[in-house]
Chain A
Amino acid sequence: MNIAVCVKQVIDTEAEKRLDPATWRLDRNVTCILNPYDEYAVEEALRIKEAHGGEVTAVCMGPQKAEDAVRKSLAMGVDSAVLVVDEALTGSDVQATAYVLAEALKGIQWDLVIFGVRSTDGETGCVPAAVAERLGVPLLSTLAKVEVQGSSVAVHRETEQGYVSYECPLPAVLSVIKGINEPRYPSMKGIMGAKKKPLDVKDASALGLDTAQVGLSGSKTKVLSARIPEPRKAGVKIEDDGTGAQKIVEFLASQKLV
């Protein structure tokens, strides 16, 4: 059972987000981390490998410094990695990103591709579906449970209204949600070992990419302008001095809300 896990480097959730007003792209010269949702994907891949054997390969597209995020997945236990780095890829939208990842995935062996449900920066959650379409394999997204059974997989898919269970033959593309597992912390041994694990850095030409389909110029959508919304007018805020409950009930009554 070989597994590819797609990971992304994102800006630390705590970091202040600054936009470059010329391109409306995020200034990434701040602390960056492995996309928190991808930790669940890595953990799920490792658990499947531990139960069924095989190799886990991380696949990442990003700037050179995204190597840090990839190394973290290696430190958690991933066996090897492919990092696609090329200035021509900067500004790629969902479709362009999916094209790059699908081409990178075509170069390695896998029965399952696992994604985190979304990135904490772009937040579209749409890359897995576009990659599955390009690879011509079924997609099972927003999964709360994954069980590999021989050459098929049984899953619980989370929807806004409960879960739906499916069974699907492999190969397949999956996306897993937060809470599907408890991602492990990399051990010291894992961190040291990660430095020696194979990491294959590829550029657009090594993957044979059509550069007309990637980057800002190859993307079919682009940001025209961005603005930070006005904060909403805050309402009344009271510090509770023991009468908070009474005041809330009075407020409800005064507004004829109950």
Chain B
Amino acid sequence: MAEIMVVAEHREGELREITLQMLHKAAQLSGERGHQTAVVLLGSGLEGLVDQVRDRTDTVVVYDDSRLEHFDPGLHAEILAALIAQRAPLLTLLGHTPWSMDLAPALAVKTGYPLATDCVDILLEGDRAKAVRQIYNGKIFARMAFRDSAGYLATLRAGAFPAAERARSLAEIVRPALPALSLPATREFLGYEETGKGEVDIAQADLLVSVGRGIGEEDNIAPARELAGLLGGTLSCSRPIVDKRWLPKYHQVGTSGKSVRPKVYLALGISGAFQHVAGLNGTGTIIAVNKDKKAPIFRVAQYGAVTDVPALLTALRTEAAKQS
């Protein structure tokens, strides 16, 4: 029997959804193989978070220390390397997120374990692990082998798995002392900006009206927001809209934004680049409107209209107003 360890992600007191998705995969692999699962929480003031993972794993390892209040990949990697040396998990899972992408490569250097990144699946065959990745813009699925090792590291793509069920008896909680840290905190945290705290979270919305480059100009943002309101939904967008600063970052869907799973996703002028579509796993119905009939978004949409987006937006608003 071996252990599968999940490195939890949280921000400003909230557990990130990727943590529950990793726990789903960990539970599945451990169920197949009779392994145990453990979740590691690092931070400051973690009691609420411990409660959220306690019934989804066998063990919770907690490092609750004021020095860990702000994520620092150097400090986190050092603590995790010590923990991995002690618990010797067969597999350690991290999120393929801006946070863990800083952490996982450093951990691989420290532990010497092989690392596969951005995995959409992990398989265990005996004590050997295999990973499935999408490469070359999602055009190709690659199955990766790890060199034989005592342990393996993998980062998982957000949205690749559903959230773990609360299906277990309460986990054992372990609170190890912090190892002696050789590194001082190297970077000073100054603050969060444009996080959208208090705004409607697009990850929680049942209906998203999502705008992309094809909406043409900034003046079309307001009508799109209004349409979202009429349909009882929330406004989201693709990357170019954030790059143009037409909407703040927390509206963005995709691998560098948020993973969403609404019942309805109305994509207005979104071409459907792989990085965007990867944030739509688990979405119910995708409806696409785009001027370019070859836009890749039509490959994933259940319903699509080939047309000029701003004109259709106006017409949609009128129609939606009639219905409501």
Contacts and interface: CB of A to CB of B under 8 A. Distances in A.
A124 B157 CA distance: 11
B101 A125 contact: yes
Contacts of A126: 101, 104-105, 115, 117
Interface in B72-121: 73-74, 77, 97-99, 101-106, 108-110, 113-118
Main secondary structure of the interface of B (DSSP, over half): mixed
Interface string B265-309: 010000000000000000011110100010000111111111110
Contact of A258 (B149, B207, B303): B207
Given A232-B299, A253-B323, A240 B139 contact: no
B117 A124 contact: yes
A66 interface: no
A169 B188 CA distance: 9
Given A94-B108, A228-B140, A248-B316, 20 more contacts: A129-B105, A130-B105, A133-B105, A138-B187, A162-B249, A163-B249, A166-B189, A168-B186, A169-B186, A220-B146, A221-B147, A224-B130, A229-B141, A235-B304, A237-B304, A238-B305, A248-B266, A251-B287, A257-B207, A257-B284
Contact of A247 (B99, B249, B263, B305): B305
Counting chain B residues whose Cβ lies within 8 A of the other chain, the interface size class is 35 or more
Nearest to A95: B108
A221 B306 contact: no
B13 interface: no
Interface stretch (B25-33, B50-58, B160-168, B192-200): B192-200
Contacts of B231: 252, 258
Counting chain A residues whose Cβ lies within 8 A of the other chain, the interface size class is 35 or more
B105 A95 contact: yes
B204 to A, nearest CB: 13
Nearest to B302: A235
Given A125-B101, A141-B101, A161 B304 contact: no
Contacts of A134: 109
Interface of A: 17, 19, 24, 26, 94-95, 98, 120-127, 129-130, 132-134, 138-142, 154, 156-169, 172, 177-179, 219-229, 231-232, 234-240, 244-249, 251-253, 255, 257-258
Contacts of B258: 160-161
B73 A139 contact: yes
A159 B312 CA distance: 33
Nearest to A137: B186
Contacts, number: 246
A163 B304 contact: no
B264 A252 contact: yes
B199 to A, nearest CB: 10
A146 to B, nearest CB: 13
Contact of A225 (B136, B143, B323): B143
A138 B185 CA distance: 9
A245 B116 contact: no
Nearest to B266: A248
B264 A257 contact: yes
A221 B131 CA distance: 10
A130 B141 CA distance: 24
23 contacts: A19-B140, A95-B109, A95-B114, A133-B109, A139-B106, A160-B98, A160-B252, A162-B192, A165-B193, A224-B145, A226-B140, A228-B141, A235-B286, A237-B306, A238-B303, A238-B306, A240-B305, A240-B312, A248-B319, A249-B316, A249-B320, A257-B207, A257-B285
